[in-house]
Amino acid sequence: MKALVVDDAKVVRVSLGRMMKQLGYEVLEAADGAQGEEQMAANPDVDVVMLDWNMPVMNGYDFLVGLRKNPAHAVSPRVIMVTTETGIGQMLKALAAGADEYIMKPFDKDMVMSKLDILGLEYADS
């Protein structure tokens, strides 16, 4: 199981990465959407992307649109937006672009696990 954490805040990449590792995932990181695209090109087997919205260079929304344009990634990986952009308009925009779930910052491990459950993604419950 492989997760890609895309966030410009290192503290988020570290904390979310630690949670996903505890849940049995191999974790890849990217600090912006452009790095996220590089990671996806090198690791097309990523199962889930945890995606921030506001980032320099390329934001999470633009990354998401580009990801879903690739027929190989029309459905997989599943994408969970992890963001402070929690207005209903923003949420609907991300869901329409192919996001699968939404987590509001701040988040905890229980919240992450509940979203993985909703998406039918496996994890190690240690």
Distance CA 107, CA 75 (A): 24
Distance CA 102, CA 78 (A): 11
| Contact partners, residue 47, CB within 8 Å, separation at least 6 | 1, 2, 3, 25, 76, 77, 78, 121
Whichever of 5 and 55 has its CB closer to Mg ion, that residue is 55
Minimum distance, C-beta of residue 22 to Mg ion, in the bound complex (Å): 23
Minimum distance, C-beta of residue 126 to Mg ion, in the bound complex (Å): 29
Whichever of 54 and 70 has its CB closer to Mg ion, that residue is 54
| DSSP states along 67-82 | HHHSGGGSS-SEEEEE
* 8 contributes a contact to Mg ion by CB under 5 A: yes
* Binding-site string for Mg ion from residue 43 to residue 62, where x marks contact by CB under 5 A and - marks none: ---------x-xx-------
Minimum distance, C-beta of residue 21 to Mg ion, in the bound complex (Å): 21
* 100 contributes a contact to Mg ion by CB under 5 A: no
Distance CA 62, CA 66 (A): 6
* 84 contributes a contact to Mg ion by CB under 5 A: no
Distance CA 9, CA 40 (A): 19
Number of residues that bind Mg ion (CB under 5 A): 4
Q: Which residues bind Mg ion (CB under 5 A)?
A: 8, 52, 54-55
